[in-house]
Amino acid sequence: QDLHQRVDQLSRWAETTTPPVSFWLSGFSRPNGFLTAVLQTTARQNEISMDTLSWEFIVSTLDDISLVDPPKVGVYVRGLYLEGAGWDVSNSCLVEAEPMQMFCPIPTIHFRPVENHKKKSRSVYLCPCYYYPVRAGRAGREASVVSIELKSGAVTPDHWIRRGTALLMSLEN
Domain boundaries, the chain: 2-168
pLDDT tier, 132 (very low <50, low <70, confident <90, very high otherwise): confident
Q: Which of 52, 63, 55 is nearest to 22 (CA)?
A: 63
pLDDT higher than 90, residue 162:
yes
pLDDT tens, 51-98? 999 999 999 998 888 888 999 999 999 999 999 999 999 999 999 999
> What's residue 18's pLDDT?
78
pLDDT tier, 141 (very low <50, low <70, confident <90, very high otherwise): low
DSSP state of 155: S
Name, in order, each residue with C-beta under 8 angstroms of 68's C-beta and a sequence gap of 6 or more.
21
* pTM of this structure: 0.87
Q: Which long-range contacts (CB under 8 A, 24 or more apart) does 59-64 make?
A: 59/87, 59/92, 59/106, 59/107, 59/108, 59/109, 59/110, 59/150, 60/107, 60/108, 60/109, 60/110, 61/89, 61/90, 61/92, 61/107, 62/107, 62/108, 63/107, 64/22, 64/108
DSSP state of 97: P
Q: What is the mean pLDDT of residues 97-112?
A: 95
Q: Which CATH class is domain 2-168?
A: alpha beta
> What's residue 164's pLDDT?
94
- How high does pLDDT run on average in the chain? 88
How far are the Cα atoms of 18, 32, 73 from residue 21, in angstroms, in the given order? 9, 19, 12
Highest mean pLDDT among 40-54, 109-123, 133-147: 40-54
